Chains A and B, each alone.
Chain A
Amino acid sequence: MAEARQQTARSVIGSFALIAGVVAFAAAAFAYTAGWFSPDRLTPHRLVDAFTPQGGEPPLGHRRNHAKGICFTGIFESNGAGSELSRAGAFAQGQYPVLGRFNLGTPNPNAPDATVRVRGIGLSISTPDGQEWRMALINPPFFAVSTPQAFYELLVASGSKDPNAMPTFAKANPEIAKFGEWAKSAPWTGSYAEERFNSLDAFVFTDNSGAEHAVRWSLLPAAQPLAVSPDELAKRGPDFLEQEITERIRGGPARWTMQVTVANPGDQTADPTQAWPQDRRTVDVGMLVVQQIEAEPDGPCRDINFDPTVLPSGIRTSDDPFPAARSAAYARSYDLRTSEAKDYPRTAPGASQ
């Protein structure tokens, strides 16, 4: 009897050890999945934090990048030609409401307009099937780096006080030189309405037959671009772009043709630093018509995340790694800025959301 009781005591200790082991293993697996054992993992937190150089203040309440911008509303006039490439509702002939944002590629919401090389546009096209197509395009014809990891390293290098940081980065990522060349030589314009905006990332369209087409797309301005030197632009004041587009659209809408470029079989889709050859087929699928400008603090684009992976059926991401990284980082930026709304007050009476 005593022996039996002893055995039971021993097996009870074993049982408790087993229970503790199961719980510890599950907790460790959870922590591992969360990245708590992987301090080197490039998380959305680290990527977004890299926009703020060490010791710097993040733009509280604002987007962590492309922080300066202005809202607009308008329509997308689809001509129906895109239907051969994708079954997305936005390509069926018709007019669809658009919400968007012109912006500057800077983490500083107060940057003088003439100091920011990259200009961008965020768009959301809503269709009657309840779906949305969001995108964020910029004006360079190709991207600066080939991978999200390299983009993170670029942010770290350009925020570094070490004079060798950028040269070291450029040696390891030679594709940046081409972007530097563009930044130096491409003409500047005096208006968002004169900019060509490009998706750069490749996506995959699926047509009604189920066939897939690798594509990129651009918004081609109807307004004739007029080159203006940055020195000349600087004289127009720190916010000339917002003032100019507000004035211009008060006088009538601004337009862009949406042009889809279709890859040839075998064209790479993973690297947005590599533009496809000029002779690839293009399809003009419709017209973006910007009808009204609204300041950002109370504007409808303020709390919209122009996440390029919010896609309707008929469009999906390709093997380009950037849309996923952008989606993760944009979400982090969104979560931060919406929690900091008090640092970016709304101005309209009663706007207290």
Chain B
Amino acid sequence: MNGVQRFTPLQRLLHWVLAICILAMLFIGVGMVSSIEPKYLTLVSIHKPLGMAILVLALIRLVVRLRYGAPPLPADLPEPMKLAAHLSHYALYALMIALPLIGWGMLSAAAYPVKIWGGVTLPAILPQSDSLHTALWNAHFYLAFVFFALILMHVAAALFHALVRRDGVFDSMGPALTRE
């Protein structure tokens, strides 16, 4: 593992903060839509600002990624795995940026005020429309499950690199900030 290139500390920090936020977000999402209890309101009131936080962090992460790039995958990694790794990362980036935007657009199309922390209300990004609301609602719902499935694959692949291949790919994004 000597000589393994790692993501920059900022990239690793963003990765793990987003990992926690997104997992929390997905669990809050499926929990809230299946509840009518007072916790429903608590969950919704976390879901919206957390979604906006994910959007901002994901955009920062995208910029940082474009600026600093990523360590190359191991040369001996089979081509199909390399392809899967690249495609799944495009999809993960797309979803962590798109899902909050779709959620925001869905609320806008339903004319709900999008209240986040401290009484701040975000502007509507789409006009009110029942058909737009329905399309975005479906997209938000089903893409969330796609996102969770992708994350499971991502975790499985990361552990495969860490435990089976031991090729340094896991360590390149590993949570330890000091070990270089």
Contacts and interface: CB of A to CB of B under 8 A. Distances in A.
A23 B110 contact: no
Contacts of A22: 155-156, 159
A47 interface: yes
Interface of B: 26-27, 30-41, 44, 110-113, 115, 119, 121, 128-131, 133-134, 137, 148, 152, 155-156, 159-160, 163-164
Given A33-B30, A131-B113, A303 B41 contact: no
B38 to A, nearest CB: 5
Given A23-B155, A23-B156, A338 B41 contact: no
A328 interface: yes
Nearest to A313: B119
Given A307-B112, A324-B41, 6 more contacts: A43-B33, A321-B37, A325-B36, A335-B137, A338-B134, A341-B130
A242 interface: no
A47 B36 contact: yes
A313 B120 CA distance: 9
Interface in A27-54: 27, 29-30, 33-35, 41-45, 47
Contacts, number: 117
Nearest to B39: A324
Nearest to A42: B36
B152 A328 contact: no
Given A12-B164, A18-B163, A324 B37 contact: yes
A304 interface: yes
A341 B148 contact: no
Interface string A299-337: 000011101011011000101010111011100001100
Nearest to A20: B156
Interface of chain B, main secondary structure: helix
Nearest to B23: A26
Interface residues of A, number: 48
23 contacts: A19-B160, A26-B155, A29-B27, A30-B27, A34-B33, A41-B34, A42-B36, A43-B35, A45-B34, A131-B119, A303-B130, A305-B112, A309-B41, A324-B41, A328-B32, A328-B40, A335-B133, A338-B110, A338-B130, A338-B134, A339-B130, A339-B137, A353-B131
A229 interface: no
B62 to A, nearest CB: 25
B163 A334 contact: no
Nearest to B121: A130
Nearest to B33: A44
A304 B129 CA distance: 11
Contact of A339 (B33, B35, B134): B134
A310 B113 contact: yes
A329 B36 CA distance: 7
Contacts of A30: 26-27, 30, 148
A324 B40 contact: yes
Nearest to B106: A335
Contacts of A339: 130, 134, 137
